[in-house]
Amino acid sequence: QVQLVESGGGLVQPGGSLRLSCAASGSIFSIYFMGWHRQAPGKQRELVAAISSGGTTGYADSVKGRFTISRDNAKNTVYLQMNSLKPEDTAVYYCNVKSIMERGRRDESWGQGTQVTVSS
């Protein structure tokens, strides 16, 4: 199994910025998908941003132009840079990693979640 450790959440004022990190560890051969999901109280969990092994990115319409997903392959880490934050961005953010382990087995893992609160 892949272990994921998330960091970077917290309380920020509207218009502010945060950078989330998710580091993967384990007997990983390769990671072919990394993404960030979020879930707000009373709402369904949604995919916010994703990046493939080839570097292709995708974003939810609600965050386009404000959020940027990136990765560091050497560190098996994915980042989410969040700018111009709005109260509507308040949620628990989860990273998701799909990988191939060293002996060829596919794996999907989720981070523990990190709280992002945007408020005055």
pLDDT tens digits for 58-112?
Answer: 999 999 999 999 999 899 999 999 999 999 999 999 999 999 999 999 999 999 9
Residue 83's closest CA among 110, 101, 107, 59?
Answer: 59
Q: What percent of the chain has pLDDT over 90?
A: 96
| Per-residue three-class SS string for 15-79 | CCCEEEEEEEECCEEEEEEEEEEEECCCCCCEEEEEEECCCCEEECCCCCCCEEEEEEHHHCEEE
For residue 94, CA distances in Å to 40, 104, 120 come to 11, 25, 24
Report the DSSP beta bridge partners of residue 98.
33, 108
| CA–centroid distance for 4 within its chain | 11
**Can you give the pLDDT at residue 53?**
86
* Backbone conformation region of residue 65, classed left if phi is above 0, alpha if psi is from -120 to 50, else beta: left
